[in-house]
Amino acid sequence: MNRVLSALLVASCVVSLSHARAEVTLLEPERVFDGSDLHDDWIVMVSDESILYAGPDDKAPGVSIDTVLKLEGQTLLPGLIEGHSHVLLHPYNETPWNDQVLKESEAERVVRAVNHVRDSLLAGVTTMRDLGSEGAGYADVSVRDAIDKGLIPGPRLLVAGRAIVATGSYGPKGFHEGVSVPLGAETADGFDDLIKVVRSQIGRNIDFVKVYADYRWGPSGAAAATFSLEELKTIVETARSSGRGVAAHAATADAIERAVLAGVETIEHGDGATPQTLRLMKKNGVALCPTLAAGDAISQYAGWEKGIDPEPERISRKRESFAAALDSGVDICFGGDVGVYPHGDNVRELEMMVEYGMTASDALRAATSGNADIFHLDGQLGRVKSGLLADLLVVKGNPLADISALRQVSLVMKGGVVYVHPE
């Protein structure tokens, strides 16, 4: 081989290697909340879709920097992980739940969902757990897949598809016996039926199963348990055999106890939790997703003028149940039931968690590393740590001093891609 050809081959290799090198972005905020603690002297380097380095400036690796983002006075933290959402619902003061299920086409609901996931992403939510399609079949699975394919912008979605309910317990209701209407969830009863339905949902590639362990079907519409302990165990065991967990809607002490003993991973709402059921949750490592903002929104839709009128009994009870949950030491999941109120207003739940007695630092942990741990994502995201995905949020001010600073978004990055750019 002559020298000219050798030189050309070497040059070609050098060019190829230079093109193969991922660009490195350096972020220089005033402070970094890493998912656990606050640091005043940290920088963060991002390469491709991952965090290359997070730590003190004087210990950073010596690499070429392509872009520097100086973020004076701002806080960098992991992208928020929303734990209870409904991307196929929009606020009930716009259209009642019954009418969304019965009158809006699936096409319309998917179009709305495209806007919803975008709005949550731009608000700093980079991962979202969706708790049921509410009558839209498996459209949530398709929305998740469209995001993953890069067809639409949105958070990483974990979806449940059709929630599982006992026959006779779910809505829409109020029609005479000759009218059959589509339900907002999938009915299943007894062991064989439950196994079949859970396996069918697994075959649709859901990420987890949601079950209604109770519902408002007792006398005069009181909440009461739906499934027996053995039925709930059947759901959990069938889901777990495929590597999937179960989330349980449960507002009554009886349903919470059954769901926890059955092996669910999270209790959604949990309004009627007693000291005994909270201890049981703590013992079994079951987290509570209290959805404070949903009740707050629904009460206001019903006419309550917050800050002017006395608190409705529902709100006072929620304050008390949340305080008891905090005292018990049970893991708290950040998730407000967004969809009941506007997507993009996700921070509303965190503001209420702090208003109801949680420290801002604990609320931020719940929305980042806490939810990552609960949802089995801790090896991928939820922390500002070398090797994890670069799902990052930058806000003006310090959310540990004022949680509402999370509304002042200046940068949103998901997998190294910037969706909101700093000014």
Q: What does the pLDDT look like over 312-364, one tens digit per residue?
A: 999 999 999 999 999 999 999 999 999 999 999 999 999 999 999 999 999 99
Local confidence band at 8 (pLDDT 50, 70, 90 cut-offs): very low
Tell me yes or no: is domain 9-78+384-420 CATH 3.30.465.10.
no
Structural domain boundaries in the chain: 9-78+384-420, 80-374
Residue 197 has pLDDT above 60, yes or no: yes
Q: How far apart are CA 235 and CA 193, in angstroms?
A: 10
- Burial of residue 95 (CB within 10 Å: 0-12, 13-18, 19+) is middle
| For range 61-74, the mean pLDDT | 96
pLDDT at residue 44 is higher than 90: yes
Question: DSSP of 338-397, one letter per residue?
Answer: BTSS-TT-THHHHHHHHHTT--HHHHHHIIIIIHHHHTT-TTTSSS--TTSB--EEEEES
Strand order in the sheet with 156-159: 80-85, 125-130, 156-159
The string of pLDDT tens digits covering residues 148-196 is 999 999 999 999 999 999 999 999 998 998 999 999 999 999 999 999 9
What is the percentage of the chain residues whose pLDDT exceeds 90? 92
- pTM for this structure? 0.94
Q: Is 194 helix (H, G, I), strand (E, B) or coil?
A: helix
Give the residue-averaged pLDDT of 378-396.
Answer: 98
Share of the chain above pLDDT 70, in %: 95
Is the bond into 172 cis (omega within 30 degrees of 0)?
yes
- Distance, in Å, from the CA atom of 411 to the CA atom of 26, rounded to the nearest integer, reads 13
Min mean pLDDT across 16-25, 112-121, 127-136 is at 16-25
Statement: residue 18 has pLDDT above 70? no
Residue 423: its pLDDT value, please?
77
pLDDT value of residue 20? 60
Contacts of 24 (CB under 8 A, 6+ apart): 45, 46, 47, 52, 63, 64, 65, 66, 67
How confident is the model over 286-309, as a mean pLDDT? 97
Mean pLDDT of 211-240: 96
Class of domain 80-374 as given by CATH = alpha beta
> How high does pLDDT run on average in the chain?
94
